[in-house]
Amino acid sequence: MAGAMRKRFKAGNVRGFTMIEIVAVLVVVAVIAAIAINRAMSTASATRVAQESVIKNHIRYAQAAAMKQGAMWGIKCDGTDYWLFITNAPDTVINQRPLPGESDVKINLANKNITANAFTVFFDANGRPYTAYTNAVTNTPVSAANPLSITVDSIPASSAVTIGITPETGFMP
């Protein structure tokens, strides 16, 4: 019986992994994962994602202000700067307002390391979006025939994203 016990526990017959082998494999997998994640998301891409979110929030702020105040509010971008405005005259300096968290009335896109196409979005007292608005009769609401798309990219260019504003509700997915 003593001979049978010795045969069972021979070093050559042991199967499995040692703790050192398991730890070594985990370290290699962690290093490969870190490299893959780093390459998948560059700094420029992360900046674009963050600034896209900021622009969406600023547009939502304009819509909420329009509904709260019962007046026309909007956001205008000329391709270099964008700003919040009241009434239907976005270029009139007295109508421009600072956005929350910003020190200047006009936000320079290059300072935020992004680019965006020129656009103007107006919101009426009900929060409906328009691409042009002179008065209640002369206006151009956002619709399937007249969509409003905002293209945002990082500097240096990575992968541009398009923000679409939904007709009637102003929802931005």
Residue 84 lies in a domain: yes
pLDDT, mean of each 10-residue run, the chain (173 residues): 54 75 93 81 75 94 97 96 95 95 93 93 96 88 92 84 93 92
Residue 5 lies in a domain: no
Residue 78 lies in a domain: yes
Residue 88 lies in a domain: yes
* Res 49: pLDDT: 84
Residue 64 lies in a domain: yes
Residue 16 lies in a domain: no
Number of domain units in the chain: 1
Residue 13 lies in a domain: no
Domain span including residue 152 = 50-165
Domain harbouring 113, CATH code: 3.55.40.10
Contacts 24+ apart (CB under 8 A), 158-166: 158/42, 158/44, 158/45, 158/48, 159/45, 159/48, 160/48, 161/48, 161/49, 161/52, 163/52, 163/55, 163/56, 163/59, 165/59, 165/121, 165/129, 166/129, 166/142
* Res 48: pLDDT: 82
